[in-house]
Structure 1
Amino acid sequence: MTYDLHIGDRLHSSWSLRGWLAFAKFGLPVRCHLIPLYSGAFAEGLAPLAPARLVPVMQTPEGEVIGDTLAIAETLAERHPEAGLWPSDPAARARARWLAAEMHSGFDALRSACPMHLGHRWEGFRPGPEVLADLGRIEEIWTAAFDRFGGPWLCGDYSLADVFYAPVATRIVTYGLPVSERAGAYVDAHLSDPAFLEWRAEGLAENRHVPHYDMDLPKAPWPG
């Protein structure tokens, strides 16, 4: 029973990364289909998946089309309760849903000023007050989760909450954003995760430059 997942460029599409991790981290079979961002063919690529208009888009083995990463995640959790996408403990599960929902609906300043870029780091980026406010809130909710559930991931074992914050971890590295040592260790855990490394390697192999994500800043190598 294999799903189909339609994604954007792996180096840049943060929601596609989240969608794919919801499969890869929980052992669910999936075929990926790339619809390049800002290519002039994006709308055409999505046309067979109407009414979806953004990536990622999932097709179930039965052919049902489901858009939006949160809807994809919840559908997979319903269809595969044995996979443990949400924590089994009710308190941890409620917190994980809260964390994922806040990421899904918030942190607009961080997402706008610091789009995901897994190809390299930018040197000399200076976050504005709104980005710093988003970072402060992220630190607050991460710390509260670590204190409540003991780590090593947000709600104990890896869950969909961590899926939703994986691209945040990459942004912290790409733009050299200031975080605490504890948050930095969580970021490092994401960046060394085998599933993330696989995704990034496939993105580098795509070898596609997307000018939309260029910045007037010096480049530096990605860590590791």
Structure 2
Amino acid sequence: MATAQLTISSKTYSAWSLRGWLMCRLAGLEIRELPAPNNASTRAELLLLSPSVLVPRLTHGEVSVWDTLAIAEYLNETFPEAHMLPTDKAARALCRAISGEIHSGFSNLRSALPMNLKVRHKTFPVFPGARPDIERIEAIWEDCLARYGGPFLFGAEPTIADAMYAPVTRRFITYAVGLRPACQAYCDTIDQWPPMQEWLAAAREEPEELEELEVEF
């Protein structure tokens, strides 16, 4: 199999990089990580790597794909034995739907609770405009956990949806967002997921002076 490369930004700040990296872990794909330029002077270089100026970007043989959901679908097609999507047709549709929802929505949540894996607040005043986003995410999680029995959103094993919502769980943990019990338990599940633990450990080792790449819109 061809050597794969994943271009990522800061492990401390970039939720999209985390999502793409977790997709590769779900697929069982060995990757070489390439750091993206993280300042304005090298932004043109990143533009050459990723036409949308977004990370992550997966290069696998002659294939180059940079949208997170496109990476997920490519990996699912390439490694069907990894079962990145649920086997049941209705569950697959729901998995794709809620993954698309986090991919394109919840802008108030992103702005109010930016990802930062090096801090953890005991209390934090959450912008009221973000409350509907939080409530919607709780509703999604509670529905999936009730339907499929947990501990992941679609049952005993993680799927694409868990990779997509993993950064949200860290936002809630970082900013001490009060959640209903099932949702708090889900955050704990993702927090203890071995790939997540690996990413968190790497983020703790990241240089403090690393600038955040502005890719979270």
**Does the alignment reach a TM-score above 0.5?**
yes
Superposition map of 1:10-25 within 5 A: 10-25=11-26
Superposition map of 1:1-224 within 5 A: 1=1, 2-37=3-38, 39-62=39-62, 64-156=63-155, 157-210=157-210
TM-aligned CA deviation for residue 71 of structure 1: 0.9
Match of 2:199, as an amino acid? Answer: W
Structure 1 runs of 4+ with >6 Å offset: none
**More divergent stretch after superposition (130-139 vs 25-34):** 25-34
CA separation of 1:201/1:41 partners in 2, compared to 1, >3 Å: closer, same or farther?
farther
Tell me, what secondary structure is at the counterpart of 1:4?
strand
Q: Distance in 2 between matches of 1:21 and 1:150?
A: 22
Match of 2:150, as an amino acid? Answer: G
Aligned residue pairs total: 211
Contact 1:95 1:155 in 2 (8 A): no
**More divergent stretch after superposition (26-35 vs 101-110):** 26-35
Q: Distance in 2 between matches of 1:54 and 1:202?
A: 21
TM-aligned CA deviation for residue 72 of structure 1: 0.8
CA separation of 1:25/1:89 partners in 2, compared to 1, >3 Å: closer, same or farther?
same
Tell me, what secondary structure is at the counterpart of 1:121?
coil
Query: Any gaps of 5 or more consecutive residues in structure 1?
Result: 214-224
CA separation of 1:11/1:212 partners in 2, compared to 1, >3 Å: closer, same or farther?
closer
CA separation of 1:8/1:42 partners in 2, compared to 1, >3 Å: closer, same or farther?
farther
Match of 1:155, as an amino acid? Answer: F
Contact 1:46 1:52 in 2 (8 A): no
Which structure exhibits the higher relative contact order, with contacts defined as CA atoms closer than 8 Å and separated by 6 or more residues? 2
TM-aligned CA deviation for residue 68 of structure 1: 1.2
Identity %: 41
Tell me, what secondary structure is at the counterpart of 2:23?
helix
Match of 2:81, as an amino acid? Answer: E
Q: Distance in 2 between matches of 1:133 and 1:14?
A: 20
Contact 1:58 1:65 in 2 (8 A): yes
